[in-house]
Amino acid sequence: MMTEQLLKEKIQFFEQRYETLLSQVLRDLKSLEKFSDATQKDQLAQQIITNIEFALEELKPELKNFKTGLTQQKQQDSKLFFVPALPKHLILDTPAFDGIKSKLQVKGINPQNSPILIDAPGGTGKSLLAARLAHDAEVQKHFPDGIFWLGLGEAPHLFQHYTDIALALGKTTHGFIDLDTATEFMQDLFAARTCLFILDDVPDFGAILPINSLGANCRVLITCVNPNLYDFVRFKASQAIRFQLPALSVAQAGRLLLSSANCEDQPPAELDAIVQSCQQNPLALQLTASLAAMQKPIAWAHLLERLQDQDWEFPEGYDHHLMMTLHLYLESLGEQGECYLVLAVFADYTHIPLHSIRMLWQHMFNLPPAEIQKLIQQFAETGLLHLHPHPQGDYISLHAFQHAYIQDNSDLDKLHLHMISAYGRLAQQGWSSAPDDGYFYQNLGWHLLGAKRLAELKSLLLNFDWISKKLFCANLHLLISDYDLLENDTELLTVQQALYAAATVLMKAPEQLATELLDQLWEKDNRDIQAMLNQAKETVPAWEPPLPDK
């Protein structure tokens, strides 16, 4: 946490560096007047430019650390970690808000035995309700050490969530080798803290159990679409509390649709039929209202006809009315809808960095930054995504049904190629020369696999420069997991086993990577592995093979 004194010192540091740089540039520019020869002037001018560029490059790491510190300070002050911002549109009032809030504030209970579940079909406002509770000042006061938002989804990335939480609390870690050691680390971190963990879009009980045991004073709030999850939770936590969000009445749904479409004074004859086609689902109604608002005048009868079209086939396991309203809305957006479909390429739909979205949209659609920001905000206000603050850069999350739809309607092979091409522009000297943006090193292997560039993926996993960079920029768990992307490859399995064997050392001292790989693999008679070890030896030139045992 950045103290006020440290903040003043940082500002003073940048002011001094700025004044020094400016004074030097002015002196250098004045010295140009001494030269009459044009060639000498050009050479000095080029040297001045080089000096400025060098000075700015020196400042970049300091500025980045300063920005990160300010972001962490802001989060520490608010005690909200990764909680999505509340949209500007009207959030429907529900009696569940006060009921859940009162249960969260009850004292004298065993937190680990009383998680709270909110279960309801997709699009009914569970996540918005949980976000409202997190932003409530009285709820925040009850959890003085912070409220943490973990979007789980169908394939929970608990390791990444744990790493994010540790970094947000100022703890450095190069990752965890397995879930048990990760959970132990988190239990120590939260042993004396009073926090609230909001687990959004929980798929099954297995994703809840590790987090529900993190701290004796920590509560867990769960949102899910599975009505059977409560029975599993109650088996382990007998005092678990359940809230089921009631469906809107036809009249309530009609008022929501008309207010969202800004036409309360002109209710159409088809109003009841439209809200029933949306099954009174708030998100489906909001998308329908947005679709209607695009038309002048609104063709309600045609809209109803399209909503009732049963010929469309959507991914199984999701409500047809939600998929249909999403389909119609994205179709009406044209190229903007294509931008949304592109989100299908990202590795984790619960955590898509905004900077990666901007880069990909600029690469594919040549969109200017202002238009990208406007489009992201439009998608957020329409309920197509949630915006989350993060110390290393804000990100978005999607609902499971939204992700299923865009995956079903996207050419993923081509999208992976676009992603690789976009990042390739930032890695002119090879993949390990790319900047660390919090996404690239974590997921390049997955994108190469998706693009079917298997030979390149294998070469990457046998490149020491890449292995070292990924260990430092991502974490040990993600590095080891990459070797599972290509099955039944003897060479990759050999390297993976060496990393497993060195895990205890590397978790504490990642700088020992080269020595550990050399110690374990130097006797392997394989050309590719030996080439990797030659790269490793360049970083530890004093290394010698261990003496044979007598």
Edge-to-edge strands of the sheet including 241-244? Answer: 80-81, 147-151, 196-200, 219-224, 116-119, 241-244
The topology (CATH level 3) of 95-244 is: Rossmann fold (3.40.50)
What is the per-residue pLDDT across 227-254, written as a single tens digit (0 to 9) for each?
899 999 988 888 999 999 888 899 999 9
Q: Which residues contact 501 (CB under 8 A, 6 or more apart)?
A: 516, 520
Helix (H) or strand (E) holding 324: helix 320-333
Q: Which residues contact 118 (CB under 8 A, 6 or more apart)?
A: 96, 100, 126, 129, 130, 221, 222, 223, 224, 243, 244, 245
Of 86, 192, 77, the closest CA to residue 134 belongs to 86
What is the per-residue pLDDT across 372-411, written as a single tens digit (0 to 9) for each?
999 999 999 999 999 998 877 899 999 999 999 999 999 9
Rounded Cα gap, residues 193 and 197, in angstroms: 12
* pLDDT of 2: 47
Q: Extract the tokens encoding 411.
A: 């050419």
* pLDDT of 508: 86
Q: Are 237 and 213 in contact (CB under 8 A)?
A: no
Q: Where are the domains of the chain?
A: 4-78, 95-244, 250-333, 453-539
* pLDDT of 261: 87
* pLDDT of 41: 76
Q: Which residue stretches of the chain have pLDDT < 70?
A: 1-15, 18, 58, 61-78, 89-93, 173-175, 549-550
- Say which CATH architecture domain 250-333 belongs to: Orthogonal Bundle (1.10)
Of 269, 266, 325, 276, the closest CA to residue 297 belongs to 266
Fold match between domain 95-244 and domain 250-333 = no
Of 550, 505, 497, 500, the closest CA to residue 524 belongs to 497
CB neighbour burial string for 66-97, b if at least 16 within 10 angstroms, e if fewer: beebebbbebbeebbbbbbeebebeebebebb
